[in-house]
Amino acid sequence: MTWVMVILFALATFGLILALRAPRVGWEAVGAALLVGIAGYALQASPSLPGAPKEAAQQSAKSGAALVEARQQLAEAQASGEGLNRWLVIGDALARNGQFGDAAGVILGAVEKNPQDADAWLALGNALVGHAEGTLTPAALYSLGRAAQADPTHPGPPFFLGLALIQSGKLAEGRRLWADLLARSPADAPWRADLAERLARLDAFIAMQAARQAAQAGPNQPGASR
C-alpha cells in the first residue's frame, strides 16, 4: 500500500507541473528528481516500521511556511514581479512543507528564465538558508545579493539577509541591516511596524545577553572580593 501511495504522489507532482504549464525544458529535471526520490525510498525506507512524530520536520515545515508568507507579503507591498511565476508556485509549495532542497532546485528554473526577478532570487536564497538549517551559506548569500541587485529598493533582501545573519549568531550584523532598512523605509510602508517590533525584540535579546555575560564575568573580574 505504501508503494502505491509513493508512486501516486510522484505522478500527482508531475501532473501538477504539467497543469501549471511549466517550461518543457524542466520536465526532464523534475522527472529525474522524482525518480531519484523513489530510488532513495526503496533503499532507505522501512514502511513496515510504525510511524513516529518528527518534531524537527514539523518545525521545518512551520519555518518554511513562515518564510514563504513573509516573502510574499513583502513582494506584494513592493509590487515586484511580473505576475504568477509557475516555478515559484511549485517552489513555495515545497518550501511550505520544509522541503527546502527540492524547492531550491525548482526555483532555479525561475532565475534561469528571468535573472532580473528579485523575488525569485529572494525565494532561492531563503530556500538555501532553510536547506542549511538556518546557516547563511555562500550560495544563499549570492542569491540574496542578486535579489538586491535586481531591485535595490526591495525590502526583502536586507530583511532576510539580516534574519539569516541573526539565525547564524551574527546579531550585530543582522541588527545593522534591519536598522538601516527601518531608517530608509517610508513612514507608511506596510512592513515598517513589523520590522520595528522585530528590531525591538532583537535589542531586548541583545541587552539580556549582554547582562547575562556581565553577571557571569563579574566574580572573575580583578579586584573581586574573596
Residue 4 binned pLDDT confidence (cut-offs 50, 70, 90): very low
The pLDDT, as a whole number, for residue 149 is: 95
Average pLDDT for residues 4-17, to the nearest whole number?
A: 53
Which amino acid, one-letter code, is at 91?
A: G
Q: Which of 71, 182, 188, 172 is nearest to 123 (CA)?
A: 71
What integer pLDDT is reported at residue 215 of this predicted model?
87
* 58-215: CATH topology: 1.25.40
134 — pLDDT class (breaks 50, 70, 90): confident
When pLDDT is averaged across residues 186-205 and rounded to a whole number, the result is: 91
pLDDT of residue 39: 43
Q: What are the sequence ranges of the domains in the chain?
A: 1-43, 58-215
* pLDDT above 70 coverage of the chain, percent: 58
Contacts of 143 (CB under 8 A, 6+ apart): 111, 121, 122, 124, 125, 128
Greater pLDDT, 149 or 62: 149
pLDDT at position 114 over 70: yes
| Neighbouring residues of 95: CB distance < 8 A, sequence distance ≥ 6 | 64, 65, 67, 68, 103, 123, 126, 127, 130
Torsion angle of C-alpha atoms 26, 103, 77, 58, degrees rounded to 10: 150
Write down the pLDDT at residue 56. 41
Locate cell 504549464: which residue? 21
Predicted confidence band at 65 (pLDDT cuts at 50, 70, 90)?
low
Higher-scoring residue by pLDDT: 164, 217: 164
Tell me the helices (H) and strands (E) count for the chain, helix number first: 10, 0
pLDDT for 109 equals 87
Q: Hunting for cell 528590531 — which residue is that?
A: 199
Cβ pair 128, 100 in contact under 8 A: yes
Q: Which three cell numbers stand for residue 70?
A: 513573509
